[in-house]
């Protein structure tokens, strides 16, 4: 099957399960579910869940065991966007072409909706019905470490403190390996752990995700300069307007494009141990390298 | 031993372990640990961990298995206070007699410090070294449900939406059973689950906590009217200034005091099945009824 069609199928699987998780009785606090749903179903690319589900396929894992974690990653990704967009943080009015959460529901509701999505990631993963509680516990540990102060949140702290400052290539790599990389790596590692992979297989998947994450981030920086505002759903040039150091401001467009190819190549070769089973993840890496959104 | 001394011992145990958890290497995102530590060690009463540890003692559980969850509860409690105090929420300048987190570190850091504390609760509980991963998974499930949209966060949503509104006794009970009650119940239930208690024992402990939580909340409302600003560390009368419905505004002081006694009595009688083993938790309930801070 073509990777585009596989992606579409995985997105459908994830969205159906997310809708299932968001069902709730009629409650006095109904409004928070509206705010959570608004951002959770705002047209996210579901990249992280897709990676996790493709890792599961490659390793012959059981999708039912992996799906709660795939949905949890998307909840954590969504919460981080809601909080990042807040006036006290990046103060963004638009996200994926739509008004940001706090613009629609107000700041208090946006903060709480973010909190609730982060929290819900752990509700659904700890409620998993599994024969392997030890494996699930390890996966929750990977998930929480990736999203915490030593992972994604740490990256956001560095990002905020780096505004209007020139930062080094090393610090930029550190920032992105935490802010976006940690969760992308968790996608692969959890997919592998929950599929019963061995430690060497987990390491190979982790290396794939690490490099894929960097390629993805640099591609993002390039699109911020060269992209189409309408397709992208956010203003072009917002990075330089926010005085943010990016791969493009550090190295220019040409070198950045080369870096995307290099990291993509490294990602793909990390999977050599899986031979032809790595086809879908290889296709995904190539597909993301050439994306325009 | 007198309950005051037992409480002091438990607080020491919890604080020592919390300090252990907050150790981290020197990192680019060090500032977030400063913001987290500021509120985590701002002199909290550690009520929720104390309840959990006393439940563990009563049931002959292993304190090492329970302590990560006790610390997690305190992290979640602290994060909720940091976010509740934000300008977009209650807009409070003081907490426990000290400037609130965002007053010291700014709003962005306060939001992220709250996020990181919530997240860390799951980092430390999922990293537990246990022979009973199934039990730990259940305890994480209880923890996350208690702190989420169907628990504490749900209560905060109702609280914010009820400002400047007259609400009914039923809605006030609903609000408090979610906003403060859910986590206090989780303290007892997790303490019981991690101590290997049977379902009937878990139910008895849950009932104790449910009633103790209500007594505690009504006592809080009373102290907001009759308390000493200096001892309490926050302005007296802040509830009525914020136009919040409380047990005191609904029923007056005398009836509220009677309700504290009634709920305390119910809490204590819930533990009758444990006979003399319930002494410490009984003493705790009586101690809290008579507290002035």
Environment class of A237 (CB within 10 Å of its CB; exposed 0-12, middle 13-18, buried 19+): exposed
The DSSP bridge partners found for residue A94 are A99
Question: How close, in Å, is residue A51 to chain B by CA atoms?
Answer: 23
The answer to whether B123 contacts A141, with C-beta atoms less than 8 Å apart, is yes
B133 touches A at CB < 8 Å: yes
The DSSP bridge partners found for residue A98 are A95
pLDDT at A251: 93
What would the two tokens of residue A250 be? 């550090």
The answer to whether A126 contacts B137, with C-beta atoms less than 8 Å apart, is yes
pLDDT at A235: 60
ipTM of the complex: 0.95
Question: How close, in Å, is residue A225 to chain B by CA atoms?
Answer: 27
Q: What is the pLDDT of residues B203-246, one digit of tens each?
A: 999 999 999 999 999 999 999 898 766 555 666 666 666 678 89
Environment class of A169 (CB within 10 Å of its CB; exposed 0-12, middle 13-18, buried 19+): exposed
- The Cα A40–Cα A114 span in angstroms is 10
Q: Please name the residue of chain A whose CA is at the shortest distance from the CA of residue B144.
A: A123
B149 closest CB neighbour out of A29, A86, A134: A29
What would the two tokens of residue A176 be? 């992105």
The answer to whether A153 contacts B89, with C-beta atoms less than 8 Å apart, is no
Q: At what angle do helices B199-226 and B247-270 cross, to 10 degrees?
A: 150
- The Cα A247–Cα A289 span in angstroms is 15
- The Cα A55–Cα A277 span in angstroms is 10
Residue carrying structure tokens 């809708």: A19
Q: What is the pLDDT of residues A113-122, one digit of tens each?
A: 999 999 999 9
Q: What is the mean pLDDT of chain B?
A: 94
Backbone phi, psi, residue A98, to 5°: -120, 155
Question: What is the arithmetic mean of pLDDT over A105-111?
Answer: 98
Question: How close, in Å, is residue A280 to chain B by CA atoms?
Answer: 31
Q: What is the mean pLDDT of chain A?
A: 94
Q: Rounded to an integer, what is the distance from CA B233 to the centroid of its chain? A: 17
- The Cα A291–Cα B230 span in angstroms is 60
Question: How close, in Å, is residue A167 to chain B by CA atoms?
Answer: 12
For residue B21, the chain A residues in CB contact (below 8 A) are none
The answer to whether A137 contacts B141, with C-beta atoms less than 8 Å apart, is no
Residue positions counted in chain B: 293
A118 touches B at CB < 8 Å: yes
For residue A128, the chain B residues in CB contact (below 8 A) are 137
The DSSP bridge partners found for residue B95 are B98
Q: What is the pLDDT of residues A65-84, one digit of tens each?
A: 999 999 999 999 999 999 99
Q: What is the pTM of this model?
A: 0.96
Q: Provide DSSP, A84-152.
A: HHSTTTT--SEETTEE-HHHHH-HHHHHHHHHHHHHHHHHHHHT---S-HHHHHHHHHHHHHHHSTTTH
Q: Please name the residue of chain A whose CA is at the shortest distance from the CA of residue B82.
A: A111
Residues 69-108 of B with CB under 8 A from A: 79, 83, 86, 88-89, 106-108
| Spatial CA neighbour of B7 closest among B274, B267, B285 | B285
Question: How close, in Å, is residue A232 to chain B by CA atoms?
Answer: 26
For residue A140, the chain B residues in CB contact (below 8 A) are 122, 126, 140
What would the two tokens of residue A40 be? 């959770």
The 3-state secondary structure of A202-256, one letter per residue: HHHHHHHHHHHHHHHHHHHHHHHHHCCHHHHCCCCCHHHHCCCCCHHHHHHHHHH
- The Cα A148–Cα B99 span in angstroms is 25
Q: Which of A16-20, A191-195, B204-208, B248-252 has the lowest mean pLDDT?
A: B248-252
A31 closest CB neighbour out of B122, B127, B161: B161
A157 touches B at CB < 8 Å: yes
| For chain B, percent of residues with pLDDT exceeding 90 | 88
The answer to whether B28 contacts A127, with C-beta atoms less than 8 Å apart, is no
Q: What is the pLDDT of residues B154-198, one digit of tens each?
A: 999 999 999 888 899 999 999 999 999 999 999 999 999 999 999
Q: Reduced to 3 states, what is the DSSP secondary structure of residue A273?
A: helix
B126 closest CB neighbour out of A27, A114, A141: A141
Angle at alpha carbon of residue B272, lines to B267 and B275, rounded to 5°: 130
Question: What is the arithmetic mean of pLDDT over B246-269?
Answer: 96
pLDDT at B244: 82
Do residues B220 and B292 touch, judged by C-beta distance below 8 A? no
The DSSP bridge partners found for residue B99 are B94
Environment class of A287 (CB within 10 Å of its CB; exposed 0-12, middle 13-18, buried 19+): middle
A134 touches B at CB < 8 Å: yes
A29 touches B at CB < 8 Å: yes
The DSSP bridge partners found for residue A95 are A98
What would the two tokens of residue B225 be? 């009217």
Q: Please name the residue of chain A whose CA is at the shortest distance from the CA of residue B127.
A: A141
Per the model's pLDDT, the better-predicted residue between B153 and A233 turns out to be: B153
- The Cα A146–Cα A251 span in angstroms is 28
Do residues B245 and B159 touch, judged by C-beta distance below 8 A? no
- The Cα A48–Cα A55 span in angstroms is 11
Question: What is the arithmetic mean of pLDDT over A177-181?
Answer: 96
B/e letters for A242-251, b = 16+ CB within 10 Å, e = fewer, are eebbbbbbeb
B119 closest CB neighbour out of A107, A147, A160: A147
Strands B98-99 and B94-95: antiparallel
| Positive/negative CA dihedral, B149, B150, B152, B156 | positive
pLDDT band at A244; cut points 50, 70, 90? confident
The answer to whether A128 contacts B137, with C-beta atoms less than 8 Å apart, is yes
The answer to whether B108 contacts A89, with C-beta atoms less than 8 Å apart, is yes
pLDDT at A227: 76
* Interface size, chain A vs chain B, as Cβ–Cβ contacts under 8 Å: 159
Q: Reduced to 3 states, what is the DSSP secondary structure of residue B179?
A: helix
Strands A94-95 and B94-95: unpaired
B141 closest CB neighbour out of A111, A126, A178: A126
Per the model's pLDDT, the better-predicted residue between B64 and B224 turns out to be: B64
Cβ atoms < 10 Å from Cβ of A222 = 18
- Measured between its terminal Cα atoms, the distance across chain B in Å is 22
Question: What is the arithmetic mean of pLDDT over A257-269?
Answer: 97
């Amino acid at each position: 099957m073509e990777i585009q069609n596989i992606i579409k199928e995985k997105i459908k699987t994830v969205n159906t399960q997310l809708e299932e998780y968001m069902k709730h009785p009629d409650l006095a606090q109904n409004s928070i579910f509206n705010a959570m749903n608004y951002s959770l179903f705002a047209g996210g690319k579901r990249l992280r869940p897709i990676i996790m589900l493709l890792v599961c396929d490659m390793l012959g894992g059981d999708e039912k065991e992996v799906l709660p974690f795939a949905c949890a990653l998307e909840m954590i990704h969504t919460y981080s966007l809601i909080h990042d967009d807040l006036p006290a943080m990046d103060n963004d009015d638009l996200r994926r072409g739509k008004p940001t959460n706090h613009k629609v529901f107000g700041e208090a509701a946006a903060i709480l909706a973010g909190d609730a999505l982060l929290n819900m990631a752990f509700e659904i993963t700890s409620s998993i019905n599994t024969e392997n509680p030890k494996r699930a516990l390890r996966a929750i540990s990977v998930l929480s470490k990736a999203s915490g102060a030593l992972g994604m949140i740490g990256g956001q702290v560095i990002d905020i403190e780096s505004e209007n400052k020139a930062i080094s290539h090393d610090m930029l790599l550190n920032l992105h390996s935490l802010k976006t990389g940690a969760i992308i790596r968790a996608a692969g590692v959890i997919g592998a752990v929950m599929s019963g992979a061995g430690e060497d297989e987990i390491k190979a998947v982790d290396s794939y995700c690490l490099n894929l994450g960097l390629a993805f981030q640099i591609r993002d920086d390039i699109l911020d300069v060269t992209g189409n505002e309408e397709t992208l759903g956010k203003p072009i040039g917002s990075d330089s307007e926010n005085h943010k150091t990016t791969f493009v401001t550090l190295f220019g467009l040409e070198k950045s494009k080369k870096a995307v190819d290099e990291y993509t190549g490294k990602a793909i070769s990390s999977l050599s141990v899986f031979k032809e089973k790595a086809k879908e993840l290889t296709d995904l890496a190539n597909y993301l390298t050439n994306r325009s959104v």
